[in-house]
Each structure stands twice: as structure tokens, then as C-alpha cells.
Structure 1
Amino acid sequence: MNRTEYSFSPEDFEFVPKDNLLPPEEIYNTQSYFKDIRKRFTANKGAVAGGISILLILLLAIIGPMLSGHTYYSQNITHQNLAPRIKLLEGIGIFDGSETITTSTGTIEQNKYISEDTSITTGLEEVYYWFGTDVLGRDIFTRTWEGTRISLYIAFVAVMVDMCFGMIYGLISGYFGGRTDMIMQRFAEILNGIPTLVIVTLLILVFQPGLLTITIALAITGWIGMSRIARAQVLKLKEQEFILASKTLGAKDFFIIFKEILPNIFGQLIVMSMFSIPNAIFTEAFLAFIGLGVPQPLASLGSLISDAFKSFTTHPYMIVFPVIVLGIIMLSFNLMADGLRDAFDPKMKEI
């Protein structure tokens, strides 16, 4: 065959206009799972505000009882029922120690720090109680932050009970199934059917009222909700292909539970444990309010509210500050838990 030969000259070619050039390939940096979670969490302003509030309350719970110079248990009957007084704010007419008392004959405005007769000194002219004092002359500021320590301790106990017992209980129950699951779930249902108030009352017959009693009560029933969530997640995942592949390769049951299943549901479990914290704090406050909390002179936010409720009509400031702190704690944990839920599973926000 005859081969045709071609020859090219520079005139046979022309440059492609820049407008027709293909765009260069874009290379995107990979982002780790936890960085993605952090990015979504920080984008949620409510969750960030809740986290900052928790840090501030934790800081005040640590250093607050040392700021005022008073102890939570010291009593001074001459300083009883003193209204809040703050040195930097009394000059502008707020928190100057004055209060309005409602009586059967009308309202009376008084300031126990300063006597109306200038010739008589009360000995309180240079005394400042930032949140006021109670009926025994104890500093409410110190007692409020001392009570906040107990509330944060209850939050820590709730998380530890959920993660160390409830999570493991639910993982084992859901993974093995069958008779094991039936026995474990029936036991949990029986235990959940006993009201917490009854459990605490029975514990008081054995132990003295206090933190130990409340801790044991939370440890007995506080893990059931977490175990149900963990069990439901395991039932959803244990028939997935990657679990069957691990079984085929000879992986042991507990290896599959803690190495294959747990990392895939750990985010949901963290979120649920955060949602359980406000419930645990409220339970402690309720028990303290009805007289089953920590004994005197210890103070929790619930016991402070219970004591101040008796003087609410005459000295409302006694109940205001513990209620505000308790409300901020519960709201902050709820906001942070909601932000963690959206960060770990953004699809949940659309449901």
C-alpha cells in the first residue's frame, strides 16, 4: 500500500483563546470527622452560648465561695434578712441594700445596713452582701455557688452513670438479643416502674440524707433511658454488611460491640447523655425542695429555693438568685445538647 506522508507548518496551527481554556483541577483538602463536628457546633450560636455559660458557671462554682469572704455555714443573727448590696452599684441606686416589704398595713421601704437616725450606727455601714442574707444571717452568694457545685456534681454523676453503665447495658442487650435481651429488658422495665421518690425514701431508711443517697438513687434508675437508646442503635446496625464481614473474618462479639458498633453510635450516645443532665439536676432540686436533699448546713440550689420559698412574700430576693442560676444551668445544658445533636447528625435537624 502506498503510504501518504503529511507535513505540517506553523501556519496550520492557531492558539486557543483563553476563554476556551478548561479550568484547572481543584484540589479540596480533606477534613476530619471531628473537625467537621466542631465546625457545625461552632456555627450554632445557641450551642456556643450554652457552652460558654456552662464554663462561666463552672468557674464561679470553683472560685465563687472564696470571693465574698464568708462561708456557706457561718451564721450571724445580727445580719439576718439583709437585702443585696454591691459597693460598685449602690451609688446609682441599685443593689444598695434597700428593699420594699409588703405588710398587712401596706408597703415599707427599709435599708437595714443604714439606720434612719444618723446619730445611731448599725455596724453594717461597711458590710456588703452581694446576694443578701437569709433568715439565719448566712451569705446567699456563697451558698448559691456552693449549691451550684452540688448541681454540677449531679451532672457529672448522671453522665458517668449513662456512659459507664447504661451504654454498656444497652449494647450487650441489643447485640446478643434473644433470651438475653428479653431478660435484661424485663429487669429494666421493672426497675423503671419504681418511682424515684420511693427509691430515695427507702434509701433514707438505710443511709442518712445526703449526696450519697442521691447518687445511689441516680445510679439505680438514671441509666435506663440511655440503655434503651443504645439498644435501639445496636438493633439498627448489627445486621449491616460491615458487621457481617467482621463476623466472617472471625471477630469476637465484644470486639464487634466496642470496635465496630460503638464508634458508629458514640455521637448519639453523647448527645443523649447531655440531654439527661438537666433532668438529673432537676431531680436533685426537687428532692431537696421536698426535704430529701443534702442536710444542713450544706446547700444545694434546690434546698436554697425550698428555704427561700418560706420567705418569698417578704424577702423575694432570697429565691431569685438560686432560681436564676438553676435556670441558666438547665438552659445551657439543653442548648449545648441541641447543638451537639445537630453537629453529630445534621439530618436530625430536618426531621
Structure 2
Amino acid sequence: MSEPASIKASFARSISPALAVLSLITAACLIGPWLSPHGHDEVHRDYLLIPPSLAAHPTKAETEAALASIGQALHLKIAGFEITHSATASPTLRATFSADAPIDSRILRGFTGSDIFGEPHIIGQNEDGRRVSVRAPLRSMHFLFGTDANGRDLLTRVLVAGRISLAVGLLASLVALVFGVTYGALAGYLGGLTGALMMRFVEIVYALPFIFLVIVLTMVLGRGLALILIAIASVEWLDMARIVRAQTLSLKHRDFVTASEALGAATPAILWRHILPNAFGPIAAYLTILVPRVILLESFVSFLGLGVQEPLTSWGVLIADGARTIQSAVHLLVFPSLFLAATLAALNALSQDLRAFAGRGPGDAQ
């Protein structure tokens, strides 16, 4: 095998685990919410802070608690209840209510607002109407990651939050890439006083505290996804500009650039055809560092309550919610943290492989 082919094969083997993890997380976040039976903002009032489990809900205890709540709300006594199971149909509840006065058939309305019971039917009533039997199917539900304090399915919310975090990471990185590459290439190629003034502006923006900038933008734009994109992109292009400027300074005196200038090529053409293609390696390597940085920044801003607002959510928002309930519901913190950590670890591993590949020459093949 030739040395370039050996380098490519070694590179492909090294990045495959990171790409596999990223692909799996991305596919789960994109497709998972469509397959989930629960909406990310769907509230289940009978399932508050349910711990993660593979078992189906409702349990017998949950059914009994919901039935007792209905009886208390309607001022009825529960004379008895029974849950029957069938191999071909969902479990069914049969409950008998009693009262000191005749029971109105409108008691069925008490079941309609429950997440546990399906459509109820009266199947028996004594002559004086003080004793009524009701049958209702039980709605089988699964909450693999549990639920939050509002009874929302955590698995669906984690996957929807991943969409927001990954989208912010990608979009803000692309904005920083385009603006930073353009600005840095112009500053490096023009040089002289113009290039010096352009880089002084970069240093001034560097001196602004990030949180101060976020607060100012919050006052102007309000909280939301647009705020995060603008705030992160407005500071993350700075490093890219400095990297591209350094690469441009090292390339603009090369023979192929000098030849293009002698032939009368315009500055945009020289930058597009000669400077940027030869600086692609460092740019691509830094971009893989930039994406996890942006995702982490978004999580940090959302953790402070300055990020996306309900009904949207992100991993930072979920981690903040989990931190507030860590003593009573640790699963609210564990699952979004695991997704965020796995994404950042995969992106960091990918960036290390790309940096090593970009800095490896053909003679460095093992």
C-alpha cells in the first residue's frame, strides 16, 4: 500500500468511532421525536417525576391513586375495583362507586381528564342509583427516561433538546466560519495599516466579557434562539479570523500567489482560488473544535436562563432543571448530561484526529 493510501486508511479507522457516535446521536435526535408516542410538551398530570423504567404504566398503585383522586373529587366512595388482563387487549379497570344520594351518570367526566383511563362506560347500577359500576380501559404508557416535574416524557425532551443544541452548534459555527475566514483572509492579505486596524478591532471585541454581551443582546432582542445564535457567533469568529490571518500571511508571498498577482488576478479571486484552498486543513481542524465549544456555550447560556424558552428546550435547559431537582429526581440531570457529554467527547476526538491528519505529511505514515 502506498504511503498516502496508508495515511487515509489510518485516518478513516481513527475517526470511525467518533463519527459513529455523532451519527447515532444525530439520527436519534432527528428521528426519535417523530417515533415517540409522547410530545415534548405533552403533560401527563398522573405521572409526575416518574423514575426511568422499562415497565409499562400505570402500575396498580398508580391506578389506585388515580381512582381515589376521582372518587375524592366527585365525593364518592370506592366500594371496590378490579383490574383484568387479556392477551389480546389492554388491561381493563372495573370499579364500583357508592354514595348517600343517587349518582349522576356525569361521573364519567371524572375519567376523561386522566392519563391513566380510556373512555369509561357505566356497566351496572342498582335500583336507587346509589351504587354504580364503571368499566374503563387502562392506557399503557412507557417512560424509558422517566418524566419531569410537569409529567413530560424526558426521553422525547432530551431528543428534541438535542435538535436545538446541535442546530445552534452547527449554525453558529457556520456563521463564525464564514465571517471569520473572510475577515481573517482580508486582514492577512491586505496587511499594512488596514490589516493592523482590522486586527485591533478583533482585540477590542476580545476584551468584551461574553456574559455582558449576552445581557446587552437580551435587552435588545429578548430571550430566544436568535439571541444565542447572534451572541455566540459574534465572539466565536475571532479565533477563526486570527488563524486564517496567520495562514494567509504565510501563503501570500508564495510563488503561485505572486504569479496570480502578476497576471492581474483580483484580490477575491486570489483568496478564493489560492489562499483558502491551501489553508483548508487548519480551518477544518479548528472547525471541529469550534462546534463543541459552541454547543457548550449554548448549554452554559441556557443553564443561566438566558437561552431558549418554553416550549423549546435544549440540553442546557434540561441540565439546569435537573440541577434544581437533583435530590428528588436525579434522572432529570443524568440523561441530558450523558447526551451532552457523549456529543462533546465525540466531537473532541474527531477534532484531534483531524488536527493530527492535517499536520501529518506523506513521509509520516507508519
Q: Which residue of 1 aligns with 2:72?
A: none
C-alpha contact 1:60 1:145 (8 A) present in aligned 2: yes
Which residue among 148, 170, 173 is the counterpart of 2:187?
Answer: 173
Q: Which residue of 2 aligns with 1:200?
A: 214
CA RMSD of aligned residues (A): 2.9
Q: Does 1:55 align with 2:31?
A: no
Q: Structure 2: how far apart are the matches of 1:38 and 1:139?
A: 43
Q: Which residue of 2 aligns with 1:287?
A: 301
| 2:41 alignment partner AA | Y
SS at match of 1:292: coil
Q: Structure 2: how far apart are the matches of 1:276 and 1:53?
A: 18
C-alpha contact 1:114 1:125 (8 A) present in aligned 2: no
Q: Which residue of 1 aligns with 2:104?
A: none
Q: CA deviation at 1:43?
A: 2.9
Q: Does 1:245 align with 2:259?
A: yes
C-alpha contact 1:170 1:227 (8 A) present in aligned 2: yes
Which residue among 40, 46, 55 is the counterpart of 1:72?
Answer: 40
TM-score (norm 1): 0.78
| 2:264 alignment partner AA | G
Q: Structure 2: how far apart are the matches of 1:206 and 1:75?
A: 33
Spell out the pairing of 1:135-284 with structure 2 (5 A cutoff). 135-284=149-298
C-alpha contact 1:170 1:230 (8 A) present in aligned 2: yes
Higher relative contact order (CA 8 A, sep 6+): 1
C-alpha contact 2:53 2:144 (8 A) present in aligned 1: yes
C-alpha contact 1:192 1:224 (8 A) present in aligned 2: yes
Q: Which residue of 2 aligns with 1:42?
A: 12
Q: Structure 2: how far apart are the matches of 1:112 and 1:213?
A: 45
Q: CA deviation at 1:54?
A: 0.9
Q: Does 1:303 align with 2:271?
A: no
Q: Which residue of 2 aligns with 1:312?
A: 326
C-alpha contact 2:173 2:233 (8 A) present in aligned 1: no
Sequence identity percentage:
33
Instruction: Write out per-residue CA displacement over residues 268-308 of structure 1, whole angstroms, 9 at most, x where no aligned residue.
Output: 10111110111110111011111101111211000001111
Q: Structure 2: how far apart are the matches of 1:288 and 1:273?
A: 22
Q: Structure 2: how far apart are the matches of 1:118 and 1:133?
A: 27
SS at match of 1:346: coil
| 1:303 alignment partner AA | V
Q: Which residue of 1 aligns with 2:358?
A: 344
Q: CA deviation at 1:162?
A: 2.8
Instruction: Write out per-residue CA displacement over residues 135-170 of structure 1, whole angstroms, 9 at most, x where no aligned residue.
Output: 000110111001000111112113312321100100
C-alpha contact 1:113 1:125 (8 A) present in aligned 2: no
Q: Does 1:333 align with 2:347?
A: yes
Greater mean alpha carbon deviation, residues 244-253 or residues 215-224: 244-253
C-alpha contact 2:322 2:332 (8 A) present in aligned 1: yes
Instruction: Write out per-residue CA displacement over residues 51-110 of structure 1, whole angstroms, 9 at most, x where no aligned residue.
Output: 111111111111111222111111122111101122xxx5xxxxx88xxxxxxxxxxxx9
Q: Structure 1: how far apart are the matches of 2:275 and 2:314?
A: 39
Q: CA deviation at 1:125?
A: 7.8
Q: Which residue of 2 aligns with 1:134?
A: 148
C-alpha contact 2:48 2:151 (8 A) present in aligned 1: yes
SS at match of 1:223: helix
Q: Structure 2: how far apart are the matches of 1:206 and 1:298?
A: 21
Q: CA deviation at 1:118?
A: 9.6
Which residue among 52, 58, 80 is the counterpart of 1:84?
Answer: 52
Q: Structure 1: how far apart are the matches of 2:335 and 2:186?
A: 44
TM-score (norm 2): 0.75
SS at match of 1:156: helix
